[in-house]
Structures are given as structure tokens and as C-alpha cells.
């Protein structure tokens, strides 16, 4: 049996949706607690399936974890008792591969399962490994695991130029470099806000990372970090998902937790389409109507470009905008799995090469559909809320990876949504 959402769409939704802590910042920051012995308190940690998977992985390495309240945890690192990150846990979530950098910083060696691909693409880790090798780490592949060992037990500062600004590779190598001997210079790094949040967390413990937010980071290795307390940033992708909802429901939904500069390309693309926003601090209200929006072209790019994690939600909105819109996906090879599902709900989308051509339709129609990944799942939920009648969104374990208490948040603004069990 798997869980699904049964959604009876067409309700008038009204109220405030608040973004929780960012999954993609919380994951690397929690993993960062592996670097140094001591006690860490992390706040605004979202209550998600991915966080629970990660905690299991950290506990398997020797970390003691105590939940202080719904969104706060204490992590006590008394030294790692196991240097193997097992396939059973790593395969559930690709971000698990980020334990390699911290384990190298802590113990100068690690054996971490290769994560494998997922529904959105093959997702290799070559850029992570190139960075570690430059720092004097011997890498061997053995029965699906990466064995990493610092030569002579020393992690050395190095110059690394990434071929592509990979978020994961940037984060992994940063976490190895903060305690390396000497200076590490990383060029063409990912500039996503979650990378900045990780750097700010590490610097709050005494790491010396400069250039934060730019494409070049200079990291002066330090002997010791001093663990403490840190609050995770709000989830810009969750907030962006709700902004799409606010536009689809003609401004009756307001969104809390919007940091405009974190999703500038998304917000400005929506403004180009005719959306009018009133943003006060981190509170967003929509002042335009869905029927005022014009079609647009969007191309996903590394930050500060349009985020791939908002691509499917944007496409769902475009389905309801008169005229022809286009979405080009450049980050992941296979991130259009939501297209046939949206078409089952009455959308009119064709894929040509890596471009989805979207012809606007009047509305969605209810149907039984399947989430293929996290953001695809969120997009189908948005479409189902709009469609008159009963829809089923199946395989919501994907959605549970990244949206904290989605059905409670939606129920609170008037949605008719319930979690049910379905045949797998």
C-alpha cells in the first residue's frame, strides 16, 4: 500500500500559507555537524521524510540526536563510531552523499555508497570526487561504494575549478575544506542561497569562508570549529510553490516566508507575465488576477537563474494562462515527468527536445495521477485543488520528502484534501 491525496477541487481557498525551514539548507547543515565533535542545536528544521532519513544515517555513524521540539534538534557528536554510509540509507536520498566531505574533515577517510540516479536524471558525483582528489584524497570505487582516504592522513587546501556549478559538489567540498591544511579556492561554485546558508552556519562556528554568495569561495582551513546554535533559512521553493497557488486562486492566498532575493528570477518572470505583488518583509500578497497573466518563456539555470525546483509549479500555472508558453529544462535530463500527468488533467503540453510547449487551457479536470518526484507531486496537488471534482494524487511519499504537513496547511485555507491508502 502507498499513500495518496484525495483532493476534491474547486473550493474557494483563502488564508495564509507559511513556508517552513528549507529542506535543501537543513540537509547539508545537519550533515555539517559531522565535521567537529561537540553539541549543536539546529532550529527551524522542517519536519520531513528526508530529515528523518538523514537522522537515521547520522545515527548509524555514531551521532546522538535529540528532538527538542517539532522543529529543533540537538546533535551531539562524540566522535564517529562508523565510517561507512550504507547503501540502504544513501539510496533513499541523494543528499546523503554529502556526508563524505564532513567525514573526511573529521576522520580523513570515509566509505560512502554511490547514491544512484532518480526519476529526474542520472545525477553523477564526479565533480564532488574531483574536488576531493585535488585536496589529496585517494578515491577508489568498490562494489558500489566510494572509498576515500586522505594521503598520509592529511587533507590539503587546493584550487578547484568546477566544470559546472553543482550545488552538492560545492557543499561537499566546502565541508571538507573548512578544516583542511592551508587555503582552498573554489571557482565556478554554486551560488544557491542554500549554499550561502551552509557557509554562514560554518562561519558561525569559526570557519573562515569568504566570497559567500559569489562564484569564488576562499576557505582558510582552521584547526577547530566551535559548535553552537543555528537557525535554518525559510524554504524558498516551498514559498515559490505557494506563490503559484496564490496566483491560481486570484490573490486570496497570501504567502509568508518569501525572501524575494532568493527567488528573484521566479518573481520577476511572474511580473513579466503580468503578476502584481505586494511584498512587505517576507509576506507576499497577489494584487492581480489569473486572467490578466500573459504567456512566457522560461529556461532553468543555476542560481541566480530560474530554479529547476520551481519549473513544474511554473508550468502548472502556465497551463491556465491563455496563449503559448515554453519551458526549457537545462539542469536535469529528465525533469518533465509531470507533463503526461498534467495532460491527464486536461492540460495541453507537448515536449520537443528539452522544451515543453504549453498551450493555455480554461481549467484542469479532475483525474487520478501519480507523483514521480517531489516538485512534480506538488504541481499535481496545485492542479487538483483547481480542478472541479475528485482527484487522486498517488505516491505522495515524494511530496512528504519536501513539504512539511502540506495537507494540514492546505486544509487550514479551505482545501478538501485527505491522505488515503492505495494499492501500490
Ligand X SMILES: CC(=O)N[C@H]1[C@@H](OP(=O)(O)OP(=O)(O)OC[C@H]2O[C@@H](n3ccc(=O)[nH]c3=O)[C@H](O)[C@@H]2O)O[C@H](CO)[C@@H](O)[C@@H]1O
Contacts to ligand PEP by CB under 6 A: 24, 94-95, 118, 309, 374-375, 402
Angle between helix 100-107 and 167-177 (nearest 10): 10
Of 95, 135, 146, 381, which one interacts with ligand X (CB under 6 A)? 95
Catalytic: 199? no
Residue 4 or 169 with smaller CB distance to ligand X: 169
User: Is residue 125 a known part of a binding site?
Assistant: yes
Angle formed by the axes of helices 23-32 and 236-248, to 10°? 170
Could you tell me the smallest distance in angstroms from the CB atom of residue 241 to ligand PEP?
10
Q: Which does 16 bind (CB under 5 to 8 A by kind): ligand PEP, ligand X, none?
A: none
* Cβ pair 233, 25 in contact under 8 A: yes
Does position 286 bind ligand X by CB under 6 A? no
Catalytic residue among 118, 134, 222, 361: 118
Q: What is the DSSP letter of 333?
A: T
- Binding to ligand X (CB under 6 A) within 299-358 occurs at 308-309, 331-332
Instruction: State the nearest-atom distance from the C-beta of 219 to ligand PEP, in Å.
Output: 23
25 Cβ neighbours under 8 A, 6+ residues apart: 193, 194, 197, 198, 232, 233, 235
Residues 6 or more apart from 187 whose CB is under 8 A from it? 159, 160, 161, 162, 215, 216
**Residue 174 contacts ligand X per CB under 6 A:** no
List beta partners, residue 181. Answer: 156
Q: Where are the beta strands (DSSP E) in 151-304?
A: 159-161, 183-187, 208-210, 216-220, 229-231, 253-256, 277-280, 283-286, 297-299
Cα pseudo-dihedral 359, 365, 370, 374, rounded to 10:
60
Give yes or no for residue 166 binding ligand X (CB under 6 A): yes
Chain centre to alpha carbon of residue 280:
25
Q: Which residue reads 564526479 in cell numbers?
A: 126
Contacts to ligand X from residues 125-154, by CB under 6 A: 125-128
Q: Give how many residues touch ligand X by CB under 6 A.
A: 23
Q: How far is the CB of 237 from ligand PEP (least distance, A)?
A: 6
Residue set of the binding site: 23-24, 94, 123-127, 309, 331
Active site residues: 118
Residue set of the binding site for UDP-N-acetyl-alpha-D-glucosamine: 94, 123-127, 309, 331
Q: Residues in the site for ligand X, rule: CB under 6 A?
A: 24, 27, 94-95, 121, 123-128, 164, 166-169, 190, 192, 194, 308-309, 331-332
Amino acid at each position: 500500500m502507498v499513500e495518496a491525496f484525495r483532493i476534491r477541487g474547486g473550493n474557494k481557498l483563502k488564508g495564509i500559507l507559511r513556508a517552513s525551514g528549507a529542506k535543501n539548507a537543513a540537509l547539508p547543515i545537519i550533515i555539517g555537524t559531522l565535521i567537529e565533535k561537540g553539541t549543536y542545536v539546529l532550529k527551524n528544521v522542517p519536519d520531513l521524510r528526508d530529515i528523518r532519513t538523514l537522522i537515521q544515517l547520522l545515527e548509524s555513524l555514531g551521532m546522538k540526536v535529540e528532538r527538542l521540539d517539532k522543529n529543533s534538534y540537538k546533535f551531539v557528536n562524540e566522535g564517529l563510531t562508523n565510517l561507512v554510509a550504507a547503501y540502504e540509507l544513501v539510496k533513499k536520498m541523494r543528499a546523503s552523499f554529502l556526508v563524505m566531505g564532513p567525514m573526511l574533515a573529521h576522520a580523513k577517510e570515509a566509505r560512502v555508497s554511490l547514491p544512484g540516479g532518480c526519476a529526474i536524471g542520472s545525477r553523477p558525483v564526479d565533480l564532488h570526487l574531483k574536488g576531493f582528489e585535488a585536496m589529496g584524497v585517494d578515491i577508489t570505487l568498490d562494489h558500489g561504494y566510494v572509498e576515500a582516504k586522505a594521503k598520509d592522513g592529511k587533507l590539503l587546501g587546493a584550487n578547484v575549478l568546477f566544470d559546472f556549478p553543482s550545488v552538492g559538489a560545492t557543499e561537499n567540498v566546502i565541508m571538507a575544506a573548512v578544516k583542511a591544511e592551508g587555503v582552498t579556492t573554489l571557482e565556478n561554485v554554486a551560488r544557491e542561497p542554500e549554499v550561502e546558508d551552509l557557509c554562514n552556519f560554518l562561519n558561525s562556528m569559526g570557519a573562515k569562508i569568504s566570497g559567500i554568495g559569489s562564484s569564488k569561495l576562499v576557505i582558510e582551513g582552521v584547526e577547530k570549529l566551535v559548535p553552537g546554535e543555528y537557525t535554518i533559512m525559510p524554504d524558498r521553493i516551498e514559498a515559490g510553490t505557494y506563490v503559484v497557488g496564490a496566483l491560481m486562486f486570484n490573490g486570496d492566498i497570501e504567502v509568508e516566508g518569501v525572501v524575494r532575493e532568493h527567488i528573484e528570477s521566479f518573481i520577476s518572470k511572474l511580473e513579466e507575465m503580468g503578476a502584481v505583488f505586494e511584498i512587505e518583509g517576507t509576506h507576499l500578497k497577489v494584487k492581480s488576477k489569473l486572467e490578466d497573466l500573459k504567456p512566457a518563456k522560461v529556461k532553468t539555470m543555476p542560481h541566480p537563474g530560474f530554479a529547476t525546483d520551481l519549473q513544474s509549479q511554473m508550468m502548472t500555472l502556465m497551463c491556465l494562462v491563455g496563449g503559448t508558453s515554453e519551458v526549457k529544462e537545462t539542469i536535469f535530463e529528465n525533469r518533465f515527468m509531470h507533463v503526461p500527468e498534467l495532460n491527464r488533467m486536461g492540460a495541453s503540453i507537448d515536449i520537443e527536445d528539452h522544451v515543453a510547449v504549453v498551450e493555455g487551457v480554461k481549467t484542469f479536470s479532475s483525474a487520478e495521477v501519480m507523483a514521480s518526484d517531489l516538485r512534480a507531486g506538488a504541481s499535481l496537488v496545485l492542479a487538483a485543488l483547481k480542478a472541479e471534482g475528485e482527484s487522486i494524487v498517488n505516491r505522495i511519499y515524494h511530496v512528504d520528502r519536501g513539504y512539511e504537513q502540506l495537507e494540514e496547511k492546505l486544509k487550514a485555507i479551505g482545501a478538501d484534501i485527505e491522505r488515503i491508502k492505495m494499492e501500490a
